[in-house]
Amino acid sequence: MRAVEKAITLVHKFEEKPEWGVTDLARATGMDKAMTHRILKTLMRAQWVEQNLASKLYSLGPGLRDIAGLQHSRLEVLRVAEPVLEELARQVNETVLLSGRHDLFNVVEMIKECTREVRVVSEIGRKIPLYCGAAGKTLLAFDHPSLLERLLGGGLKTYTANTIGDPEALKAELETIRERGWGFENEEYSTGVCGLGAPIWNSAGCVTGSIAIRAPSMRMTAGDIAAIAPQLTKAAAEISAKLGFKMKREFAHG
């Protein structure tokens, strides 16, 4: 069986069930485990399959789901998220944003502003490197490790005195985000701006975006963070649930 035929056979197995482990997939296709693993890695590079970091199971990736029409469109994500973001902005009275990943950047897709005279202002389509802000670091933390490897290959440009420019420091920060369930930025891209970010998950258990609360540094004290982090993660969980995600773990807020 040629490599392409083997890959097609493997992909068709996801019609039978949405998630597979390497061993079970190899057994189901009649291929050896090493070959199955190599094909999966090739398909991952094309984003035809992706791996859930928590369960280690593979599912159809965004590249193939987009073609097949099986993935929630970005319009659907925005439709579901909008009322939740509006309520969150009302509760915390700070700027709330929804973002998605485009290559190595976090791109703003929706903004709900607060009523304060002094506030953080952004714009739709604004691109920020993934490693610089709370939303981007959250996307980076819960995506496949190969994304981080690719990002580090291009170096970490510094934008402020607080930008994380050391690869090991960034890896430690991402591990903290994975354990805590949300990310924090401290003037890493824009001086005077801090923020919190939490992931949005789709029905396949893959991160599909993030929501963030951004505020002037003077209004992001330890007390402020302790108060708004639970509200942020609750809003992210609500959006994720509406997209079909079933929560499998609880995160700490402290």
Strand 183-186 versus strand 127-129 pairing type:
unpaired
Buried b vs exposed e over 136-168: b needs ≥16 C-beta within 10 Å? Answer: bbbbbbbbbeebbeebeeeebeeeeeebbeeee
- The architecture in CATH of the region 74-242 reads 2-Layer Sandwich (3.30)
Q: Indicate whether this model's pTM tops 0.75.
A: no
Distance CA 86, CA 110 (A): 10
**What residue segments make up the domains of the chain, in order of their start?**
3-68, 74-242
Counting Cα atoms < 13 Å in the Cβ hemisphere of 101 gives: 28
Q: What is the mean pLDDT of residues 226-252?
A: 85
pLDDT of residue 67: 60
Q: What is the mean pLDDT of residues 186-208?
A: 93
Asked if the model's pLDDT at residue 222 lies above 50, the reply is yes
Question: Domain 3-68's class?
Answer: mainly alpha
Q: Is the dihedral of CA 205, 82, 191, 227 positive or negative?
A: negative
**pLDDT-derived band of residue 195, with 50, 70 and 90 as boundaries?**
very high
140-167 confidence digits (pLDDT tens): 999 988 899 999 999 999 999 999 999 9
Strand 207-216 versus strand 58-60 pairing type:
unpaired
Asked if the model's pLDDT at residue 180 lies above 70, the reply is yes
pLDDT of residue 253: 47
| Other Cβ atoms within 10 Å of 85 Cβ, number | 19
**pLDDT-derived band of residue 66, with 50, 70 and 90 as boundaries?**
low
Distance CA 170, CA 129 (A): 13
72 conformational bin, left if phi > 0, alpha if psi -120 to 50, beta if neither: beta
Q: What is the mean pLDDT of residues 29-57?
A: 88
**pLDDT-derived band of residue 254, with 50, 70 and 90 as boundaries?**
very low
Distance CA 206, CA 238 (A): 15
Alpha helices, H only, 145-253: 145-153, 167-180, 222-242
Tokens of 246: 């079933």
